[in-house]
Amino acid sequence: MTNLDATTMVLVLALGNLALCALLTFYDHGPVRPPALGAWALSKQVQAGAWTLLALGGASIVPEALALPGGYALLFAGVALEAGATFERAGRHGWRRPMVGAACLAILVFFACYLIDEQGLRSVAASLLLGGFYLAGAAALARGWREASLLQRFLAVLTAVLALVVAARGLSVLLLPGGWRWLSNDLLRMLSNTALYLLMLANGYGMLLLGREGAARELARLEVVDPLLDVPNRRGFFNALAPWMALARRPGLPTALVVLDLDDFKRVNDGYGHPAGDAVLRHVVELCRRQLRDSDLVGRLAGVEFAILLPRTSADEAMLVAERIRAAIATSPVKSERAMIAMTASFGVTVIRPEDSNVTLFQRADDALRASKAAGRNRVSQAAAASADV
């Protein structure tokens, strides 16, 4: 009965992994091509091959002497690849070498156990090694626990628990060959097979859902962040501005707004090409950041127009900050492939007034910016001061 269960389980794992591979293949060739699932999809293909070979061996279609070592070698390679893919997802890109080493070592250990003792030692090695690889995957999922979503945390815990169940079977065969009370080795074998099945399901659904979650998070981020410069875009900047607009209606230190527009930027694009223009934009943002406090905020309003929010800053202080940034831009040409690209920017400075709306605030700052442009560019102008501005 248990033998039949084990054979059926291997067949179910083979079919399950093959079905997942088919889904991934069609998913990857749909009309909207998702980002390649890469190493993880490959790990599933290798595991599907492994379980299929083991199932064919179990059904005596392929000689067992070939199916068992071949199937397990593929299986270790597949789960090592899967653990590696999970590390890759967690931002650890140096996973390849250690995982290839671990997979080779696992295959060698398994072959050694297989040669020493076909039955007992072999299943001890297989359970411990598989459990170890899945635990590594759980560790990768648990990285960045604080920022991780509930789904990711759940998957980390579930994978760890199931990996321990898989490994426990090997440990029990090794330490308690006769089982322990009601926990017989047959029961542990069944639990271990069920854990492997659940790991296939949990990892399959989990990785696809985590992928969707990541894509949704990136989409939400792109609504408020400029992808080229990684600073808030117009919407993101206005979102960040809102509480400071509200605070301006209460007595206290003012909040200043600086708008800046790069001068004659068309010349850069026309003369050096769009990529060089992009490099100049990144350089300008970096220069701004270096001149600002952590509490200040740079945003990209449109094209080559930027805004800087300076909380708790008077108009005079904001003029000094803007002047510092202007000087930094004017004296830090950007090295491109063909030349050093000199750049200047014009600035408009104002502070938020209690009666301001976004429209009146930016109108005033833009008027000051236009005055800088009209006066010959590469300069800072302050908006006409109201009596309350300090």
Ligand X SMILES: Nc1nc2c(ncn2[C@@H]2O[C@H](COP(=O)(O)OP(=O)(O)OP(=O)(O)O)[C@@H](O)[C@H]2O)c(=O)[nH]1
Position among 51, 110, 265, 306 found at the interface with ligand X (CB under 6 A): 265
Q: How far is the CB of 348 from ligand X (least distance, A)?
A: 12
Total residues contacting ligand X by CB under 6 A comes to 16
HSE-CB at 348 with a 13 A cutoff on CA atoms is 23
Where does this chain touch ligand X (CB under 6 A) — which range of 25-33, 181-189, 237-245, 257-265?
Answer: 257-265
What separation, in Å, do the N-terminal and C-terminal C-alpha atoms of the chain show? 87
SS3 category, 347 = strand
Position among 83, 207, 281, 307 found at the interface with ligand X (CB under 6 A): 281
Query: Do the strands 340-341 and 334-335 form a parallel or antiparallel pair, or are they unpaired?
Result: antiparallel
Position among 235, 249, 274, 338 found at the interface with ligand X (CB under 6 A): 274
Q: How far is the CB of 298 from ligand X (least distance, A)?
A: 15
Where does this chain touch ligand X (CB under 6 A) — which range of 69-77, 137-145, 166-174, 277-285?
Answer: 277-285
Q: Indicate whether 39 belongs to the interface with ligand X (CB under 6 A).
A: no
- From CA 258, how far away is CA 301, in angstroms rounded? 12
Q: Scanning residues 283 to 322, which ones bind ligand X (CB under 6 A)?
A: 303-304
Position among 184, 239, 269, 336 found at the interface with ligand X (CB under 6 A): 269
User: 């059904």: which residue's tokens?
Assistant: 59
Q: Indicate whether 262 belongs to the interface with ligand X (CB under 6 A).
A: yes
Where does this chain touch ligand X (CB under 6 A) — which range of 51-59, 193-201, 262-270, 332-340?
Answer: 262-270
CB 36 within 8 A of CB 28: yes
Q: Indicate whether 277 belongs to the interface with ligand X (CB under 6 A).
A: yes
CB 226 within 8 A of CB 329: no
Where does this chain touch ligand X (CB under 6 A) — which range of 102-110, 210-218, 255-263, 348-356?
Answer: 255-263
Where does this chain touch ligand X (CB under 6 A) — which range of 151-159, 190-198, 272-280, 284-292?
Answer: 272-280
- Residue 250, burial from CB neighbour count under 10 angstroms (0-12, 13-18, 19+): exposed
Nearer to ligand X, 77 or 325 (CB): 325
Position among 261, 285, 298, 364 found at the interface with ligand X (CB under 6 A): 261
Q: Indicate whether 264 belongs to the interface with ligand X (CB under 6 A).
A: yes
- From CA 77, how far away is CA 43, in angstroms rounded? 8
The partner residues of 232 in beta bridges, in order of sequence, read 225
Nearer to ligand X, 36 or 340 (CB): 340
CB 24 within 8 A of CB 44: yes
Nearer to ligand X, 189 or 300 (CB): 300
Q: How far is the CB of 358 from ligand X (least distance, A)?
A: 21
Position among 5, 28, 213, 278 found at the interface with ligand X (CB under 6 A): 278
The partner residues of 309 in beta bridges, in order of sequence, read 257, 297
CB 309 within 8 A of CB 241: yes
| Closest residue to ligand X using C-beta atoms | 277
Where does this chain touch ligand X (CB under 6 A) — which range of 200-208, 232-240, 261-269, 333-341?
Answer: 261-269
Amino acid letter at 163? A
Give the CA diameter of the chain: 93
Helical pair 234-247 and 358-374, crossing angle rounded to 10 deg: 110
**What are the two backbone dihedrals, phi and then psi, of residue 181, each rounded to the nearest 5 degrees?**
50, -125
Position among 82, 88, 263, 356 found at the interface with ligand X (CB under 6 A): 263
Residues 212-251: x/- map of binding to ligand X (CB under 6 A)? ----------------x-----------------------
User: 């426990």: which residue's tokens?
Assistant: 168
Amino acid letter at 260? L
Tell me the C-alpha to C-alpha distance, in Å, between residue 153 and each of 6, 8, 144, 194: 31, 31, 10, 21
Which residues of this protein are in contact with ligand X, per CB under 6 A? 228, 261-266, 269, 274, 277-278, 281, 303-304, 373, 377
